[in-house]
Amino acid sequence: MCGIIGLFEKSSVSSHNGVSPNHNSAKKLVKALKLLQHRGQDAAGLLSSRIKNDHFVVKKGPGFVSEVFSGLPEKDFCELDGQILLGHTRYETVGGPSELNIPPFQAVHSDTNFSEGAVNNSSEKEKTPSMGIVHNGNIVNYFSLKEELEGASEGQRTFLKGQNDGELMLRLFQSFFMEESHSPKTFNRRSPFLIIQTCMRRLSEKVEGGYALLLIIEDVGLVAFRDPYGIRPLVYGKDKKGHICFSSETIALEGIGYQFEREVRPGEVIFIGFNGTFKSAKLAFSGYQKKDPIKEAPCMFERIYFASSKSQVQGALVKNTRRRLGRVLAEKVLEKNKFFDHYDAVSAIPETGLDAAYGVAECLKLPMVEGILKVQKSGRTFILPGNKRGTALKQKFIVRESEIKGKRLLLVDDSLVRGATLKSLIFELKKKGAKELSLAFSCPPIQFGCFYGVDFPEKNELLANQKSHQEMTTFLGVNDLFFLNEGDLLNVFDGRDHCFGCVTKKYPTKLKEGIAFARKRTAEKSILGIV
Ligand code: SF4
């Protein structure tokens, strides 16, 4: 999972160098990026359509958005101001922490690594625009495509600088763009948007996965695309001046004064030219993936865990969705405990369990206690690499003895993944005097890996895959465990299709290379020392 932002500012002046007509566009983008911080904390970056020394102006680095951009001199911000800007907060799912794996990525026409031989005369070189990309998601066949690109015959070969699927998609798109725009049949006869549609169709037929991406094409414009199943989110909005902003979540649009327009549709490509022309088309796919016609399958985990509770997903405020899930969860608790006198209070595991906990407490008519506090700025432990997770856990929560001592508590959390966080938290709650503890989750047990951008690809990392209900209860040290099921989620999601792969093992795409991907990622993590 990552957070992406793309900002387009209208201009009445020619903008071939991508210079913004308005100052402070870079600061605006950084502000929006901070509102997506919960989606990734490994690195942050910004790429401007402004060109300097033959490259897009870029600022990126490891850490939180504030760490990368605070203290940046005013002149550097001015240099970043561009008519189009791309921003990214990274959650590491492929490739290690090396600088080469930090988005945004760019492929410039003078880049000698790019398709040696394919740009071997100066006139073709001039026709090949530089490009930049940010994306959110995972490409399942990344490792085999990388091998294919790097092992191709001379003249066709492309070397990737890092190990990130965003860079791979950029290189593939750029090579398709070169072929389509340089073809004698098509050059000068097709509009850039038609060429972009063809390239995006070719790209999405080549890569398998869940992804949303934003691309800058030098002197051409901004492109937004969401995978054919719409697994990863992408929305856009406008401000009063008609500027446009794309984002992973609506909260970032709202934060910089943009009005949410709509979600980018699964398989839809949107193009905004530097002159402000706005075009969109939903691409037709030929059933190359699993089903024909392709059904939308947005990630259910966005609504349960990943998205900000202040964002809108699928037409509903996430906070409200989570409260509704909590109310359904309360019914499960009541079903089991018909003569209800088992609990004195409900306590949420902050922060993502909070809204569901309110729903549970409301429905069971129980008081809410703030038994657990989250230390501010501690980030999300789930999206931390394993070797940092244990230490972060200890610094993440404060258990309040005054609120929990002598009480029979029903704890509410969003989901059960590895179980390590909960086990140590429950131990701490008991140590501080909680009398009895049960756990309720607003999600079904996560039993299978995710291949589309959430970093639990190996099923043996998942508690519910390894243990029975009773074994999990014993392992966690609680009296009872409650979960929602797929049907409950579908009801709350108003019957709309979603991806439930990690719960049901029914994934939207074929996953021909799923096992190989999971193994390679595990091997990569072990080399990097990430457990
Ligand atoms: S497998 Fe699970 S986490 Fe991954 S995209 Fe599907 S629902 Fe989301």
Q: Does residue 210 have its Cβ closer than 6 Å to ligand 1?
A: yes
Output the DSSP codes for 450-482: --SSSS---GGG-HHHHS-HHHHHHHHT-S-EE
The residue whose CA has the least distance to atom 2 of ligand 1 is 502
pLDDT in tens, the chain (531 residues): 799 999 999 875 544 455 555 568 999 999 999 999 999 999 999 999 999 988 999 999 999 999 999 989 999 999 999 999 999 999 877 777 788 889 999 998 755 444 433 334 445 445 578 999 999 999 999 999 998 888 877 777 778 888 889 999 999 999 999 888 876 665 556 788 999 999 999 999 999 999 999 999 999 999 999 999 999 999 999 999 999 999 999 999 999 999 999 999 999 999 999 999 999 999 987 654 555 678 899 999 999 999 999 999 999 999 999 999 999 999 999 988 766 678 999 999 998 999 999 999 999 999 999 999 988 665 555 545 555 545 555 668 899 999 999 999 999 999 999 898 889 999 999 999 999 999 999 999 999 999 998 877 578 889 999 999 999 999 999 999 999 999 999 999 999 999 999 999 999 998 888 888 888 877 776 766 655
Own/partner pairs for 25-28, CB < 8 Å, 24+ apart?
Answer: 25/81, 25/82, 25/83, 25/85, 26/77, 26/78, 26/80, 26/81, 26/82, 26/85, 27/77, 28/256
* pTM of structure: 0.91
256 pocket-lining for ligand 1 (C-beta < 6 Å) = no
Report the separation in Å between the CA atom of 447 and the middle of ligand 1, taken as the mean of its atom positions. 11
User: Coil, strand, or helix at residue 57?
Assistant: strand
Rounded CA separation 348/358 (Å): 8
Closest atom of ligand 1 to CA, residue 297: 6
How much is the pLDDT for 179? 87
Evaluate: CB of 145 within 6 angstroms of ligand 1.
Answer: no
The alpha carbon dihedral of 438, 439, 440, 444 has a sign of: negative
How is residue 361 written in tokens?
Answer: 């407490």
- Sign, CA dihedral 395-397-401-406, equals negative
Q: Check whether the bond before 62 is cis (ω within 30° of 0).
A: no
Q: Does the beta carbon of 298 lie inside 6 Å of ligand 1?
A: no
Cα separations in angstroms, 72 against 7, 45, 270: 20, 13, 32
Which protein residue's CA is at the shortest distance from atom 4 of ligand 1? 450
Contact 358, 323 (CB under 8 A): yes
Summarised one tens digit per residue, pLDDT across range 64-103 is 999 999 989 999 999 999 999 999 999 877 777 788 889 9
Q: Whose CA is nearest to atom 8 of ligand 1?
A: 299
Asked whether 501 lines ligand 1 (CB < 6 A), one says yes
Ligand 1 atom showing the smallest separation from residue 231 Cα: 5
Q: Let me know the angle formed at the C-alpha of 101 by 310 and 245, rounded to the nearest 5 degrees.
A: 35
Cα(64) to ligand 1 centroid in Å equals 25
Interval 156-204: pLDDT, tens = 777 888 888 999 999 999 999 988 887 666 555 678 899 999 999 999 9
Which ligand 1 atom is the nearest neighbour of the CA of 500? 7
Distance (Å) of CA 270 to CA 52, 89, 98, 191, 275: 27, 22, 31, 14, 15
Domains recognised in the chain with CATH numbers: 3-297 (3.60.20.10), 306-507 (3.40.50.2020)
Q: Cα separation of 217 and 226, whole Å? A: 17
Beta bridge partners of 43: 62, 90
